Structure 1
Amino acid sequence: MLLSLFCGAGGLDLGFERSGFDVGIAVDKKHDSVRSYNQNRVAPPRGHCVDVNDLSLSSLDEMWGREFKPTGLIGGPPCQSFSQANRSITEADPRHQLPLVYARLLTELNARNPMDFFVMENVKGLRSGPHAHRLVLFKAALTAAGFHVTERLLNAADYGTPQSRERIFLVGLNKKKFGELEWSPPKALLERHQRLTVRTAIGGLKEPTHFSRDAEPSNFAHHKNHWCMAPKSKRFKEGGGLKAGDSSFRSFKTLDWEKPSITVAYGHREVHVHPDRHRRLSVYEAMILQGFPHSYELVGTLSSQIDQVSEAVPPPLAEAVARSVKDVIAHWRQARAA
């Protein structure tokens, strides 16, 4: 049973659930994200709208109804302040401290009842430039909590997501339980030439509904999230310079039918443009490019839905990581029992 921090709409959790893990408590401070999380799971609701800075063992016990003893901790602290796309970072940004809050809760929970593992996801920008020292600090804090920490950079496109999205994964295995056992990252499921393309993912979809005040999601074509703003920019007009696969514009990134999507990152003033329809992607199209199942639905305003899908961990990548963690622990236990 797991604790999920910064759960968002549930992309990381979905991958772990598909791998046989049960999430006992999931926490995020954004109301719409928690609503989306709970709506896509059977009752009782596991998602709670709480700021992780306010979490304690007692508050987790209250949510759970008894003493909370998870076997694993998962989560990706908000990464905008570490992203290479963020040009306005400051040392005072409180988001810089969220991985340390994660480490604090890991330490406290592990002291109460030894846990098996943790998984932390973040942007690759944390590895370089002004952020590299923070990664060293975070790894030291996680190691001090009693875990053998392994770091790897993985690309979601290698694991069945129709999108090139590189992310750092820090995985820790409990030293008291497993000694110096090291996490082995999942092997790529697809060769580069086998990666899923934009055409494979969204090529057959109907046109989305354009936003209006009286729009009713239940009437949207194909899916409740298959909607977008009506194209207004001159860039969207014929002759506006947008061509399939062209990412040369700072804000307008046109997708290529025959390649995986570029990283879904609407939160950085980027507009991802359909390969040949001269419009933004719909929320639903972005969800499919993130690897969410067709049945998944997001709630909230358009801007909230865009944030939710942009911040999510692609479920296929999450599932690959979850299975690799499960396998390395299972193999260790089998060897010990032999």
Structure 2
Amino acid sequence: MYNVVDLFAGGGGFGLGFAKAGFRIRVAVDVDRDAARTYSANHSKTVVMQEDVRLVSYRDLLKYSNTVDVVIGSPPCEPFTAANPERMEEPADRLYVDPAGQLTLEFIRLVGEIGPRVFVMENVAALAEEPLKTYIRREFKRVGYDEVYFNVLHAEDYGVPSRRRRVFISNIEIKPPKTGGVTVRQALHGLPPPDSAYPPNHDTVTISIKKQERIAKMRPGEALMRFRGAGGFYENYIRLVWDDVAPTVMGSRRFIHPEEHRLLTVREQARLMGYPDDYVFLGSKDSQFNQVGESVPPPLAYAIAVEVRKYLEGRG
């Protein structure tokens, strides 16, 4: 069984996909208390460190795993995403000046110190664009990895019921075979009404009476709100369409049920990301939504993990 270190691990979606593919997640690191608690609750065999990655040494990680075959992780995407209206104008500043952007360099530092056979770093696809692509490639070369691939994948091609375009930067080419789409109808099928005893995280999301009245008039595909990001306008409070995949799930984005005049629960949004119903999210409701929306969808993570395993076994 191959050993994995999971950095910027969040609530554990990336790790779940690798665990399902037969990897052993030896240690996970995240600074957020709720995310660390969620990871620990769902990955009982993983040592979870609630710590700032900037303060973590490879020696801290190797205490729990003498050998590390794979390092995975999702450094913060806010410095790079066009949805962030505060994004720095100069691409170099997003990576080298923005404190959150510098965390990508911390991931690279630890990869260099650990020296895994494979690393996979997830982020928004903007990191696959120039000049950031050249900067990232240069930084990985500096720590000993001459081959760097920018694998841009769409989650909806791998059984995830929501759109999500992300880059997975790795020292190997990752091209999983596509498995087809899943609609909102298929994803939400079989769920009991909110506030039922099971599954967890399926509690009603309260909204104001004014919002409730406006939602009641909305048709499928319409959005209650629009906000400006660095790359244009983005929508929020979107009424879903039954026989389509959902828009991109984000930590701050809320969806309206296709028929009922209410917001989706955390569990329903987790289903739109491909999480199983027994995966429990801890913390406040906003924190739970963040953990779901900021994660790597487990079915996509699994598809990537299978390709990594093939490579490690000499079949890639």
Q: Aligned residue for 1:202? A: 188
Matches within 5 A, 1:169-208: 169-173=168-172, 183-190=173-180, 195-208=181-194
Partners of 1:162 and 1:291 within 8 A in 2: yes
Could you report, residue by residue, the CA deviation over 1:243-265 in whole angstroms, capped at 9, with x for unpaired residues? 11224741321111110111111
The reply on whether 1:259 has 2:233 as its aligned counterpart is: no
Could you report, residue by residue, the CA deviation over 1:11-30 in whole angstroms, capped at 9, with x for unpaired residues? 00011111111111100001
Could you report, residue by residue, the CA deviation over 1:249-308 in whole angstroms, capped at 9, with x for unpaired residues? 4132111111011111132xx331111112211000011111111111011111111111
Q: Aligned residue for 2:275? A: 292
Partners of 1:206 and 1:221 within 8 A in 2: no
How far did residue 154 of structure 1 move? 0.7
SS class of match (1:23): strand
Aligned amino acid, residue 178 of structure 2: A
Change (3 A) 1:239 1:6: closer
Stretches of structure 2 that go unaligned for 5 or more consecutive residues are 227-235
2: CA distance between counterparts of 1:247 and 1:124? 24
Matches within 5 A, 1:296-335: 296-331=279-314
Change (3 A) 1:236 1:125: farther
Name the % identity: 33
The reply on whether 1:119 has 2:124 as its aligned counterpart is: no
Partners of 2:38 and 2:280 within 8 A in 1: yes
Q: Aligned residue for 1:138? A: 136
Q: Aligned residue for 1:176? A: none
Partners of 1:235 and 1:242 within 8 A in 2: no
2: CA distance between counterparts of 1:242 and 1:205? 23
Q: Aligned residue for 1:213? A: none
Aligned amino acid, residue 270 of structure 2: M
Give the TM-score of the pair, scaled to structure 2.
0.87
Q: Aligned residue for 2:207? A: 231
Q: Aligned residue for 1:89? A: 87
1: CA distance between counterparts of 2:23 and 2:215? 51
Q: Aligned residue for 1:49? A: 50
Larger of the two Rg values belongs to structure: 1
Partners of 1:254 and 1:274 within 8 A in 2: yes
Could you report, residue by residue, the CA deviation over 1:118-161 in whole angstroms, capped at 9, with x for unpaired residues? 00111123345xxx423321222123333321112111111111
2: CA distance between counterparts of 1:244 and 1:170? 35
Change (3 A) 1:314 1:59: same
Q: Aligned residue for 2:18? A: 16
Shifted more, 26-35 versus 145-154: the winner is 145-154
2: CA distance between counterparts of 1:203 and 1:69? 42
Q: Aligned residue for 2:59? A: 58
How far did residue 97 of structure 1 move? 0.8
How far did residue 233 of structure 1 move? 5.3
Change (3 A) 1:73 1:266: closer
Q: Aligned residue for 1:166? A: 165
Q: Which has the higher helix share?
A: 1
Partners of 2:14 and 2:295 within 8 A in 1: yes
Partners of 1:73 and 1:118 within 8 A in 2: yes
- Among candidates 195, 220, 224, match of residue 244 of structure 1: 220
1: CA distance between counterparts of 2:314 and 2:111? 24
- Among candidates 92, 104, 107, match of residue 102 of structure 1: 107
2: CA distance between counterparts of 1:155 and 1:162? 11
Give the TM-score of the pair, scaled to structure 1.
0.82
1: CA distance between counterparts of 2:126 and 2:143? 24
